[in-house]
Amino acid sequence: MSAHSSQPMVDVQEVYKRFGQLEVLRGVSMKVERGQTIVIIGPSGSGKSTLLRCINHLETINSGHIFVDGHLIGYQEVDGALKSLSGRAVARQRAQIGMVFQHFNLFNHMTALDNVIEAPIRVKGLSKREAREQGLALLEKVGLADRAHHYPVQLSGGQQQRVAIARALAMNPKVMMYDEATSALDPELVGGVLEVMTELAHEGMTGIVVTHEMGFAREAADDVIFMDGGVIVEEGKPDQVFDRPQQERTRAFLRAIL
Amino acid sequence: MLRLTDRLFFIGLACAAGGLLVHPVLAGQFNTFWTSHLGSVPDSAEVWLTRLLFAAAAICAALDMYGRLAAPAGSRLRELARDSWYPLRTISGFYIWLFRGTPLLLQIFFVYFALPQMTNHALVLTEFPAGFIALSLNEGAYMAEIVRAGITGVSGGQMEAAQSLGMTRSLAMRRVILPQAIRIIIPPTGNEFISMMKNTSLVSTITLTDLFYRVQLIYTASSGIGAQDFFNLLLVAAVWYLALTSAATYLQGHIERHFARGFSREIRQPGTMQRLMVGALRRG
């Protein structure tokens, strides 16, 4: 299965996800083209975080298909039927999908630099020297070169989140996903993180961003998706969704948060 | 790359070796004390050698066992539904259930007396291996639960972050979860270690001479021994117990500080002991 440059980087087709009785995703389909940044907005419980977690198979979907760079995530097709991939194969797929969490989830027992170089060394098999060089460059990029040897607990939330972004970038992912990356931050720390995310978007990194930061969405998003109740309610260019929303639910949501 | 459990194993081994070095000196002192008060004391040195070895070896075995049985069991508890390796889960669950649920004394008797009969004397263990195995198995079961609690104590986000970077579950367990779980595991492990040191007195029932049994032997063997002498004897025994448990406590403090890195905001210079250990661990 070779990756076409014409096919979308992320292709979500008719995805359903249930937690017990609760249907969190009810037939979600979306495409993210290469180099595009998609912003997903919506009320809490609308399924946007779950959608991200399904894309890198942290959650298994109940039906539908998810392709990243043309590869079916989490399954392989054997004689027309879908079979679960082995843990190792899923891990290989995840290595190509960067994920940034709301609560950073930095490895507490490692310094910032060790956080960044851990996976490149253990997963990609980079030499320690290569990984360190790359890691320091990435920390420099997110403005934290001088914090390389600090432990997460010694960093502010904003700094931790920027380390987390550097950590994800160190795997050279094909797509970056941000799950409410700034929601847990003090207001004055949000800007630094959004700056890094905007810069990456402008550099052509494919991105899926779940956020409540409408300013970021206007500046960096190619498309905005509004989700509610496990379905995509509205989708379009940022100014279209924000300034001329077609759906009443979108209007109500925007009124509530702006 | 040494596994974490192996590193702990070597630390335990180093402690045992240290204990053996110090032992003759201490034993000499106490022998003098004993001799001056109570006449000659037969083979107390050997008894102590045995005892120290017991304590060290049993805890090493327990730690090793946790690596092989308990840690996988603990990590698997979290994903029961997804896990396909049913046999290991069943075996370790059964093991913990059995050895935590029956008295240690019964287990010692079982290994020493019952095993030979059950196997038609194909499997006969002498006192030391029998005591060693029984203590280890018992200790392993308790350690397993401690380790499980430690693993559960590490935030689930750590595993998710590791997985999102392409780590397999086992790699994430080894590099991310266990090093953080250790911090939680060490205090109750110190407890267990000390309680097990004292539990070794139960092996006197299969004629292994331990400290307290020795005290009783001396008392019954010495004719005309007074109440004051018996009191002194008990004091000597208590001092020995305290010497051992203090050493364990001291070591525990150092290990705790080592694994506390990244959980305290202050930037500390590592101490000598810590540098030695970190060096040994990092190289592994």
Measured CA to CA, the distance from residue A139 to residue A125 in angstroms comes to 20
DSSP A232: E
Q: Which two tokens stand for residue A84?
A: 């679960």
Q: What is the pLDDT of residue A197?
A: 95
pLDDT, one tens digit per residue, over A2-14 is: 455 678 999 999 9
Asked if A184 has any chain B CB less than 8 Å from its own CB, the reply is no
Measured CA to CA, the distance from residue B104 to residue A35 in angstroms comes to 65
Name the range with the highest mean pLDDT among A60-69, B39-48, B107-116: A60-69
Q: Which comes out higher in pLDDT, residue B276 or A98? A: A98
Chain A closest CA to B161's CA: distance in Å?
6
Among B76, B164, B258, B278, the residue to mutate for chain A (most A Cβ within 10 A): B164
β-bridge pairing A63-68 and A10-19: antiparallel
Q: Which comes out higher in pLDDT, residue B152 or A110? A: A110
Lowest pLDDT segment from A131-135, A167-171, B95-99: B95-99
Facing residue for B164 by CB, picked from A99, A103, A153: A99
DSSP A174: S
CB atoms within 10 A of CB A71: 15
Measured CA to CA, the distance from residue B153 to residue B141 in angstroms comes to 19
pLDDT > 90? residue B94? no
Q: Which comes out higher in pLDDT, residue A55 or B72? A: A55
Q: What is the pLDDT of residue B55?
A: 54
Average pLDDT over residues B126-138: 77
The CA angle B133-B71-B252, to the nearest 5 degrees, is: 75
Q: What is the pLDDT of residue A2?
A: 47
Q: Which comes out higher in pLDDT, residue A249 or A2? A: A249
CB B68 within 8 A of CB B144: no
pLDDT > 60? residue A164? yes
Average pLDDT over residues B263-267: 60
Those residues with Cβ within 8 angstroms of residue B60's Cβ, 6 or more apart along the chain or in another chain: B9, B12, B13, B16
Measured CA to CA, the distance from residue A123 to residue A132 in angstroms comes to 15
DSSP B260: T
Residues 218-277 of B with CB under 8 A from A: 259, 261-265, 267
Measured CA to CA, the distance from residue B65 to residue B6 in angstroms comes to 11
Rg, C-alpha atoms of chain B: 22
Asked if B75 has any chain A CB less than 8 Å from its own CB, the reply is no
State chain A's mean pLDDT as an integer.
93
pLDDT band (50, 70, 90) for residue B155: confident
Those residues with Cβ within 8 angstroms of residue B170's Cβ, 6 or more apart along the chain or in another chain: none
pLDDT band (50, 70, 90) for residue A238: very high
3-state secondary structure of B206: helix
pLDDT band (50, 70, 90) for residue B183: confident
pLDDT band (50, 70, 90) for residue A178: very high
Asked if A147 has any chain B CB less than 8 Å from its own CB, the reply is no
3-state secondary structure of B53: helix
pTM summary value: 0.75
Residue whose C-alpha is closest to residue A54's, from A224, A168, A210, A173: A210
Chain B closest CA to A95's CA: distance in Å?
4
Q: Which two tokens stand for residue A209?
A: 């961003």
CB B94 within 8 A of CB B141: no
Tell me what percent of the residues of chain B surpass a pLDDT of 70: 56
pLDDT > 90? residue A110? yes
Cβ–Cβ below 8 Å for A108 and B168: no
Asked if B3 has any chain A CB less than 8 Å from its own CB, the reply is no
Q: What is the pLDDT of residue B82?
A: 36
Name the one residue in this structure whose structure tokens are 């596994």: B3
pLDDT band (50, 70, 90) for residue B86: low
pLDDT, one tens digit per residue, over B245-261 is: 788 788 888 778 877 77
Measured CA to CA, the distance from residue B54 to residue B108 in angstroms comes to 14
Among A71, A73, A105, A116, the residue to mutate for chain B (most B Cβ within 10 A): A105
Chain A closest CA to B159's CA: distance in Å?
9
pLDDT band (50, 70, 90) for residue B77: very low
Asked if B167 has any chain A CB less than 8 Å from its own CB, the reply is yes
pLDDT band (50, 70, 90) for residue A121: very high
Helix extents (H) in A29-156: 48-55, 87-94, 112-122, 128-141
pLDDT > 50? residue B42? no
Facing residue for B167 by CB, picked from A91, A97, A109: A91
Q: What is the pLDDT of residue B66?
A: 47
pLDDT, one tens digit per residue, over B186-245 is: 888 888 777 777 777 777 777 766 677 777 777 777 666 666 777 777 787 777 778 777
Among B78, B165, B261, the residue to mutate for chain A (most A Cβ within 10 A): B165
Chain A closest CA to B149's CA: distance in Å?
18
Residue whose C-alpha is closest to residue A233's, from A245, A215, A219: A245
Lowest pLDDT segment from A23-32, A104-113, A115-124, B174-183: B174-183
CB B259 within 8 A of CB B179: yes
